[in-house]
Amino acid sequence: QSLADVTVNDISQRYKMQEELGAGAQATVYKGLSRKNNQKVAIKVLDAKELEDDELYDALRMEITLLRQLRHPHIVNLHEVVRTPDRIYIIQECLGGGELFEQLLAKGPFKEDYALAIFAQIVLAVDYMHGLDVVHRDLKAENLVFSAKGSPAIKFIDFGGACTWTPDEGLVGLVGTPQYVAPEVVTGFGEVDPTEKPYGKECDMWSMGVLLYVMLSKTMPFRAKEVDQLLKQVVKGKFSFKPEERWRHISQDARDLISKLIVLDPQKRFSVAQVKEHPWCSDAVSKCAASMPKLSEAATKKDKKDAKGGGGLGFGLFRLGSRAGKTPKGQEKPIIPRDGATPGNSSRDGGGGGAAAIPKRFKTGTDGYASREQQFWYAMEISPPSNMQQQGGVKIGTDGKFQMDNVSEEMRAILEDIERKKQGAAGGASNSVTAGGLGAPPPPPPPPP
């Protein structure tokens, strides 16, 4: 089956290409305008030669298949896929409100009622996906984007790690983001023997618990300077509500729900159905569902044509193994690169980005990349606030700005970019995106030939 909905000689016949929003290993994303109705879109551009690799082709096919199937108010909308003789263009809605992560940096931790309003939307989207046996596998603040500036409506993006689940086979393979990844995904790490046991939808529920923890405290339940130390904590599953000053005003119900989600045993972890009934969020979820447009019959049907396989082009993922959800023989244990980097990670490029953005990557070592969100959480653990002189230390001053001693150029660039975005978001800066942060956009690049 062809990936494309439409084949043309030149993309300019259907869309006007505008400025670049971001770039990844296999794709570049541009802002664009539809020639037909002048609608703003995000256009992901891939070289057709990349798809001569069978694995990449299968990955892209799965991602497109899932995006065509998923039609929900809180999931990014795929418009169409266009093919030219030498490129593939994936056309998605352009979301202009910025990432949840960026808002968390500028305004977090969130008040409980605001976090609840966001969480209710996430619950409904996950409930919809799980009802169709789709598992996202990379649920995090960077992969949730507000529809428009000032709008509370939020949408899931980046289905590069998503796949369909079947009870017969389950899912295997190390996919996700270290700070959010469920322990059953990280099998065979540290002192924990590999189980080689498939996992399921429960991995998304763990990530939901971590995200709720983050929104309410602007801290992580599992904290470490490097990915290997972090994953050793994850597989043990022990966390606490600290620092106390961040949790003093958070309700017991909110803490209880987090404690029901961040549970080591997947079978004892709350399902999305149980979350919907929990006292902390049941009313909010019901009200959010009541205000949501009714889903079409087609949008709620499981697609049996592609029941196996999974994972698309996982630009933002910490991944081991094939995108078909199978771990290659001889690679059952996670491969942890030096410097805390994680293979194949990337981040969104700011408020004006949009759903389909494959953003600029920050290189953190010779072995890979880590997303801006990952780098932020690692940076917070590098140095205690009282120790400015520690090698590689990072401290947040009383003015809220990063103060750095002996920080590498790569880390300094990341933290400066985060600081610019914080200032832009806090000051109501333009939605435009540059490689360095929020501000005036660069001149539009020439459209792809």
Is residue 279 within 8 A of residue 216, CB to CB? The reply is: no
> CB under 8 Å, gap of 24 or more: what pairs does 255-263 form?
256/280, 257/209, 257/212, 257/281, 258/209, 258/212, 258/213, 258/221, 260/209, 261/205, 261/206, 261/208, 261/209, 261/210, 261/212, 262/206, 262/209, 262/210, 262/213, 262/221, 262/237, 263/206, 263/209, 263/237
Catalytic residue among 10, 133, 138, 399: 138
Is residue 108 within 8 A of residue 246, CB to CB? The reply is: no
- CB atoms < 10 A from the CB of 295, how many? 12
Is residue 313 within 8 A of residue 60, CB to CB? The reply is: yes
Four-residue CA torsion sign, 175, 437, 25, 35: positive
Which of 11, 16, 23 has the alpha carbon at shortest distance from 82? 11
> Does the active-site annotation cover 138?
yes
Q: Which residues pair with 20 in a beta bridge?
A: 30
339 Cβ neighbours under 8 A, 6+ residues apart? 226, 364, 365, 367
Is residue 394 within 8 A of residue 58, CB to CB? The reply is: no
Which tokens is 408 given? 């590498």
Q: Quick one: DSSP state of residue 13?
A: G
Is residue 129 within 8 A of residue 296, CB to CB? The reply is: no
Is residue 335 within 8 A of residue 178, CB to CB? The reply is: no
Three-class secondary structure of residue 43 per DSSP: strand
Rounded Cα gap, residues 227 and 408, in angstroms: 18
Please state the separation of Cα 430 from the chain's center in Å: 23
Is residue 433 within 8 A of residue 351, CB to CB? The reply is: yes
Q: What phi and psi, each to the nearest 5 degrees, are found at residue 133?
A: 65, 35
Half-sphere exposure of 336 (CA within 13 A, CB side): 16
- Please identify every residue annotated as catalytic: 138
